[in-house]
Amino acid sequence: MTTMTTASVFGAVHLGYIVIETNRFADWRRFGTDAIGMHHDALSRDLMRFRLDDQECRFLLRRGPAEDVVATGWHIDDHTAFEQIEARIRAHGVPLVAGSAEEAALRGVERLLRFPGPKGITQEIYTTPRVSAEPLRMLASGFVTGDSGMGHIALTSTKPAEVRSYFNTVFNARLTDYIDETISGVKLKIRFLRVNERHHSVAVAAVRGLPIDPIRTRVQHLNIQAATLDDVARSYQRVHELGFDMALSVGQHTNDRELSYYARTPSGFEWEVGWNPIVIDENTWEPTTVQGISTWGHLPVGDTIATKLAQFRAGARSLTRPENTVPALSGTGIPDD
């Protein structure tokens, strides 16, 4: 393997956009604009986008039955790092597909490549994002993106070591910390992975001792970071007033110290709006295990027996549905520290 494939790209990778497939366009428009407070652009009957900042696209919604995240887009700082990632994926024998000019335009990017990812979520890398000349029209005062990227994704997995290994192989992701948590009698271990200064761009939760996945969707939640505490409070109020389901009330996490709440999207997965997480100092940070996901708050809202039964059914179905972690890139996984 050449030096190009082994040189680290850590710090040159940033979560840039998310692609969601849904048939619930009217509900998503209300959720994204009127509740969360993002900028909305209608492209056609089957396509719409949300913006958080001057980048043309942060969320691309396309019409389809999945009701789920189908792709994550990663902004790569320069062509050298882009080609390093491309070379290492090819060296592992994993196919890459170049995005068409139309696909790149929809995402507001240049030089788009896609390849398989864990849980069937396509991974996409791109270089220069396009900046929109259209002023932002949104209820929020702003969102934090920049060097930290636009937020994070959280997955549940029956093969967490392999998922961690995948992101290490592709993006040189580093382990930030673990959280041990018990929810409704189920013991969870959550791994937090970073690819830049953000505490984590990917979180991977697993049920300890049981090879089950209790979540129907490919992602458990998405996160975006609000510019101010007032933005969090106001969007929390709008979610309630507009009748969207709240999953977890306002609270603060133990590890990244982010103050946030979790709403339930029209597609069923959760959407976290947070504020003021810590920024990692690479010179001093050491991974640890933290007990409990929150120091206060984050209480379940509207949790019913029906909800628990749905999670039980999803877990049972996962036993008969093999989880694909793209073995060529995940190998046998990274042993827990």
Q: Is the pLDDT confidence value at 309 over 80?
A: no
Q: Residue 307 has what pLDDT?
A: 52
Q: Is the pLDDT confidence value at 326 over 80?
A: yes
Give the closest residue to 55 by CA, choosing from 127, 152, 140, 124. Answer: 127
pLDDT digits (tens, 9 = 90+) for 174-209: 999 999 998 767 789 999 999 999 999 999 999 988
Q: Residue 274 has what pLDDT?
A: 98
Kindly tell me the number of DSSP H helices and DSSP E strands found in the chain.
8, 18
Average pLDDT on 253-270 reads 98
Beta strands across the sheet bearing 270-275: 289-291, 174-183, 186-194, 202-207, 151-156, 221-225, 270-275, 259-264, 246-253, 294-297
CATH superfamily entry for domain 3-126: 2,3-Dihydroxybiphenyl 1,2-Dioxygenase, domain 1 (3.10.180.10)
Beta bridge partners of 95: none
Q: Residue 184 has what pLDDT?
A: 67
Q: Residue 33 has what pLDDT?
A: 98
Q: Is the pLDDT confidence value at 333 over 90?
A: no
Q: For residues 164 and 317, which has the higher predicted lDDT (pLDDT)?
A: 164
Please tell me the distance from the alpha carbon of residue 100 to that of residue 94, in angstroms, as a whole number.
Answer: 19
pLDDT digits (tens, 9 = 90+) for 168-177: 999 999 999 9
Q: Percent of the chain scored above 70 by pLDDT?
A: 93
- Residue-averaged pLDDT of the chain: 93
Q: Residue 325 has what pLDDT?
A: 95
Q: Residue 304 has what pLDDT?
A: 47
Q: Residue 83 has what pLDDT?
A: 97
Annotation: CATH topology of 146-330: 2,3-Dihydroxybiphenyl 1,2-Dioxygenase; domain 1 (3.10.180)
Question: What residue spans in the chain does CATH classification 3.10.180.10 cover?
Answer: 3-126, 146-330
pLDDT digits (tens, 9 = 90+) for 205-223: 999 887 888 889 999 999 9
